[in-house]
Structure 1
């Protein structure tokens, strides 16, 4: 367990805005209306890389990646720094980042872009003088260096149910436990409402796959219920179309198949998540150009839909749950 002395205060003017205790304007505002819990500090919390003690309530927080940003925004915290997915090729290194896909309208602090969410620039991070860094355990190789800059919490966020476990831990570290309870209640209400709207689709066999396009355009990774995306579709009332059980390859929620092998799953509906640097448009064009994909019953019925990985697989928090659910309803015409 590592302990930290409080960070020295540093004022850099408007360039480095402090984390805000005011919730960003979002559809989750009702959830954020709960009063902030006054947790006595120091506080010790357990996360994917061990235990971390925060000597005082954090006010300058860095979000490494959209998943961490989602969690922070849902708790009403605005970051001073942000690391994005490298696949997006963001070029504003060291400057305020304003183009944050799907979450940008909720960010009011103009956080500085610190580089790759898993390999951020440590020198730039240090200039921000954060008193908390939040990220995912994919950044575990950088964890010792991150900890030298500020107390760091890394969470596991890829599986269904992960963010619901991480959020209360982060809320405790931030002194905002009441907000976590409200966010969880809001998310349950969103899913319940979506299930009602999607009643005509209840029980339909949905094939949910990643596809990175390019040289791998004929390969599809089937997502099972343990994966966040697969779990979301199951929560919405679909039955996941999966390879024959028992299938050890699906233990973690993933199995890569050729487009030819997808035919054996015989889904009622297909959702293709354009992964890597692929886009829904390119994924749709590749699908339509494949004679094998066209033979699927779902293709013949016009029930194949294409969605972006940033929304449907990288953010994976309460805000993403609401936005992704809204996108599924839109594509299926379930208003």
Structure 2
């Protein structure tokens, strides 16, 4: 999860304000003439019909974004906003570098495929490993809009970013926006609402087709977890997008998810269950993610875990590999087909054992 930005010195803040002024001035410059060399990502955006009217105001939990004209230079922040932007035919001028799950450059495979399809260059990749918003890097690419609806930016970060360009943040809670809402919000910000609606419908139809092709999933209960802390499971609440995606396949959240939740109003998208309580988990299928097969093997080798009925009876459907972890953790119109084509057969096999 993103962390709060550490305080800057007065000198650094003054430099940021100066750079911001330069960036805003640059954004008002005339667009490049046809055939002119453009910055990374910009040239790949295809011509689009008139679409939505501008200006447009997009509210969020942190404040409004007032976008006066169709954005041409788009910056994304967070785990997955770039997916919706690319799916709508626009290559961002900058997006986060993802060393976890990304290729050698830090680009997710489904994003790399889409950039290639659009004929674009790899965008400027923003420093993201520390979790801090790289304000100066964002200033340098002179954005027209900053899209961060699936992120953890704070009120203070929102205010600083808004000095650079309009910022589209999350409507309610950080790290909790369903993929349907994400593509809709980003479509509105880019003046491509009709295209966004079509994308949403096409993706929903794809998920529905997988559900129809795998009826064994219908009604099967599941618990979605992770083993990120010693001797504890991270259990994801029903509102988390990764959990909701399995619900779209016809599965149901195990009652254990609510029963074991000691503080359901905590506001986080997951809670912890100690290994001494994993015997209380009742679910047809246990779904968990691991960065590597080695991690998955180490998890099931623990005597407490190997004794769990789900693991013992092979009703365990692990998501393995960093790219798969990211594709499932922040599902989008691009990552959903990339991941589910490969994962659903494994999930269906585990669900089938629940009825054996």
SS in 1 for 2:334: helix
Alignment partner, residue 138 of structure 1: 152
- Give the TM-score normalised by the residue count of structure 2: 0.75
Moved more, 288-297 or 135-144: 135-144
Which of 39, 45, 48 aligns to 1:21? It is: 45
Contact 1:6-1:56 within 8 A present in 2 as well: no
1:70 correspondence with 2:83: yes
Q: Report the Cα offset of residue 266 of structure 1.
A: 3.0
Which of 319, 323, 326 aligns to 2:341? It is: 326
Alignment partner, residue 64 of structure 2: 51
Q: Report the Cα offset of residue 77 of structure 1.
A: 1.4
CA RMSD of superposed structures (Å): 3.0
Which of 241, 258, 271 aligns to 1:255? It is: 271
Alignment partner, residue 205 of structure 1: 221
CA shift digits 1:286-314 (9 cap, x unpaired) = 2222111111222122232222431211x
Alignment partner, residue 298 of structure 1: 310
1:79 correspondence with 2:92: yes
List runs of 5+ in structure 2 lacking aligned partners.
1-23, 350-356
SS in 2 for 1:256: strand
**Within-5 A mapping of 1:181-196:** 181-196=197-212
Alignment partner, residue 111 of structure 1: 123
Alignment partner, residue 158 of structure 1: 175
CA shift digits 1:54-96 (9 cap, x unpaired) = 12110010111331112212222110111135x739899xxxx
> CA–CA distance in 2 between the matches of 1:317 and 1:183?
10
> CA–CA distance in 1 between the matches of 2:122 and 2:340?
27
1:223 correspondence with 2:236: yes
CA shift digits 1:263-297 (9 cap, x unpaired) = 211332211123xxxx1323312222211111122
> CA–CA distance in 2 between the matches of 1:206 and 1:175?
38
Alignment partner, residue 100 of structure 1: 108
Q: Report the Cα offset of residue 187 of structure 1.
A: 1.9
> CA–CA distance in 2 between the matches of 1:218 and 1:246?
16
List runs of 5+ in structure 1 lacking aligned partners.
24-34
CA 1:329–1:163 in 2, change beyond 3 Å: closer, same or farther?
closer
1:268 correspondence with 2:284: yes
**Within-5 A mapping of 1:4-43:** 7-9=27-29, 13=37, 15-18=39-42, 20-22=44-46, 36-43=49-56
- Give the TM-score normalised by the residue count of structure 1: 0.80
Q: Report the Cα offset of residue 100 of structure 1.
A: 2.7
**Within-5 A mapping of 1:302-321:** 302-307=314-319, 308-313=324-329, 315-321=330-336
**Structure in which a larger fraction of residues adopt strand:** 1
> CA–CA distance in 2 between the matches of 1:240 and 1:295?
22
Q: Report the Cα offset of residue 197 of structure 1.
A: 2.1
Q: Which runs of 4+ in 1 moved over 6 A?
A: 89-92
> CA–CA distance in 1 between the matches of 2:257 and 2:101?
34
Q: Report the Cα offset of residue 145 of structure 1.
A: 2.0
